A and B are shown apart, each in its own frame.
Chain A
Amino acid sequence: MFDLTKIRADFPILSRKVNGHPLVYFDNAATSQTPTPVIEVITDYYTRLNANIHRGVHTLSQEATEAYEAARATVQHHFNAAQAHEIILTAGTTESINLIASGYTSLLTKNDDLLISALEHHSNIVPWQMLCERTGAQLKVIPMTEKGTLDMDAFTNLLSSKTALVFVNHVSNALGTVNPIEQIIRQAHEVGAEVLIDGAQACPHIKPDVQALDVDYYVTSAHKLCGPTGVGMLYGKEALLNKLPPYQGGGEMIATVTFEKTTYADLPHKFEAGTPNIAGGIAFGAALDYMNAIGFDQIAAYEAELLDYATKALKQIPGVRIYGEAEEKTAVLSFNVEGIHPYDIGSILDKMGIAVRTGHHCAQPIMDFYQIPGTVRASFSFYNTQEEIDRMVEALQKAILMLQ
């Protein structure tokens, strides 16, 4: 049962005021807010459990290890990974991507092609450019259409026996487009390529099943889905992860160390050097539990209503252009008002207590495609309301009057 009043009461930050107005938080695609049950898990960890994990024989260490590994199991079940050790807990999406990019340095040559999409976040562009510089592999880009979707015919034409890796986000952060990853994975596998899906923007709205997708690597961040910052995950198929060399050296990731030779620990520890973000990992599990208790189907259905409501309302305002008109998209509304810079709109909305994102959203190639400096992006979550959208529309109309 989707009880909006009860849900909103779980998020203490939603009752704060900003610039004298009740906060309207529409920057969920940048980071989501944190519900009390997740905050309590973090407090409880430092109040009751705090110890280093995996090594201590004492009770605290054992309890903290159990809680951390239970969180890994929660992540595993949420994404339906076959095995818990296929889940690497990282600092977030960016680190997960860099871990893979680093690992492929010794596996690629100048005869390999890497495909990325035109809809990527900089974090899913730059590590691959750096990998290409190290290996001489060629980076090729799947182009986008005016509607903000991927040109799948062009994708098919780019694929060849030279294609080694394909990187696509599940959902575009700047536009909200849901990409056809099932088809991308299937076609990439047909030519023997491996696929990494960046799920940072998808996971707050969609529950991916990594086995059903048959995806090779899937990455995401906890802070986009009601968890804390500084923690995320890398799912990888066991055989592939075993093939990759370690990312960072240090404690935790070794089996034996002598000055002559070190042998590495098994998965997942091989990729988890040093003391991890223990409280963050445990809270990541709690955040998934929280969202699953509400239910991703319920969340997606409600957010679709919000998106539809907001899209219709914005289209009523003269001069508004919406970017990203894919048939399937998450609750992201990227727009501009004719003749007004997105920064100006964002500044005025903030004065009225409304948090939106302005700028290029770390996706400059998309802004270049539309030949705009950026957009205003309102991104909704299941704890937002239609009344809040009404307030944004009203504030936007005031801003337009001031700025035109």
Chain B
Amino acid sequence: MESIAEKQQEIIEEFSLFEDWMQRYEHMIDLGKSLPLIAEEYKTEDNIIKGCQSKVWVHATLEGDQLVFTADSDAIITKGIIAILIRVFSHQHPKAILDADTDFIDQIGLKEHLSPTRANGLVSMIKQLKMYAVAYQTQLN
């Protein structure tokens, strides 16, 4: 299994092929289409990530000692962002998720999604994924 750092590197290389923001966004939208979708039964108010202008639902399950995420969003750019995050963090040990940094977002030219405006959800999404990791880390111990 690839590590979080390896997956991040892979995504950085993928995005470096594009010359402008439009291609990067189109790629991100495509990635959104391959997002492992959350089951309808988990699309509840409780699973909505607070702090996003669009709705983002995330669900996590433990498979062995690895966390597996599914998600969905009603906005397709947001769906692309959560798809990238899940590609990096899914099928990893909770500890690895907690230890990981997320500098790669900056490196793939999506830095504007990191600004702390209220409209923005990326920071909240990362926080939520790490919260799941904290919860399941405790369960594993």
Question: Which residue numbers of A lie inside 8 Å of B, CB to CB?
Answer: 19, 340-344, 346-348, 350-351, 358-359, 373-374, 402-403
Contacts and interface: CB of A to CB of B under 8 A. Distances in A.
Given A358-B119, A359-B53, A359-B119, A341 B21 contact: no
A373 B74 contact: yes
A343 B53 contact: yes
Contact of B21 (A340, A351, A373): A351
A contact patch SS = helix
A226 B54 CA distance: 31
B75 to A, nearest CB: 4
Contact of A344 (B22, B26, B76, B112): B76
A377 to B, nearest CB: 13
A344 B53 contact: no
Interface in B4-28: 21-22, 25-26
Given A341-B74, A344-B75, A403-B76, 20 more contacts: A341-B54, A341-B75, A341-B78, A342-B53, A343-B53, A343-B54, A343-B77, A343-B78, A343-B119, A344-B76, A346-B119, A348-B25, A348-B77, A351-B21, A351-B22, A358-B53, A373-B55, A373-B74, A402-B26, A403-B77
Contacts of A374: 53
Given A373-B54, A403-B29, A344 B21 contact: no
Contacts of B78: 341, 343-344
Contacts of B25: 348, 351, 402
A402 B26 CA distance: 7
A54 to B, nearest CB: 37
Interface residues of B, number: 15
A359 B121 CA distance: 13
Contacts of A344: 54, 75-78
A83 B53 CA distance: 44
Contacts of B26: 402
Contacts of B119: 343, 346, 358-359
Nearest to B121: A343
Contacts, number: 42
Interface of B: 21-22, 25-26, 29, 53-55, 74-78, 112, 119
A168 B26 CA distance: 44
Contacts of B77: 343-344, 347-348, 403
B77 to A, nearest CB: 5
Q: Which 8 pairs of residues, A with B, have the shortest CB-CB distance? A: A341-B75, A343-B75, A343-B54, A343-B53, A344-B77, A344-B75, A359-B53, A347-B77
Contacts of A340: 76
A401 to B, nearest CB: 10
Contacts of B21: 19, 351
A348 B76 CA distance: 11
30 contacts: A340-B76, A341-B54, A341-B75, A341-B76, A341-B78, A343-B53, A343-B54, A343-B78, A343-B119, A344-B54, A344-B76, A344-B77, A344-B78, A346-B119, A347-B77, A348-B25, A348-B77, A350-B112, A351-B22, A351-B25, A358-B53, A358-B119, A359-B53, A359-B119, A373-B54, A373-B55, A374-B53, A402-B26, A403-B29, A403-B77
A358 B53 CA distance: 8
Contacts of A347: 77
B27 to A, nearest CB: 11
Contacts of A359: 53, 119
Given A341-B75, A344-B76, A359-B119, A402 B22 contact: yes
B53 A402 contact: no
A268 to B, nearest CB: 34
Nearest to B55: A373
A122 to B, nearest CB: 13
Contacts of A341: 54, 74-76, 78
Instruction: Give the most central of B25, B53, B55, B112: most A CB within 10 Å.
Output: B53
Contacts of A403: 29, 76-77
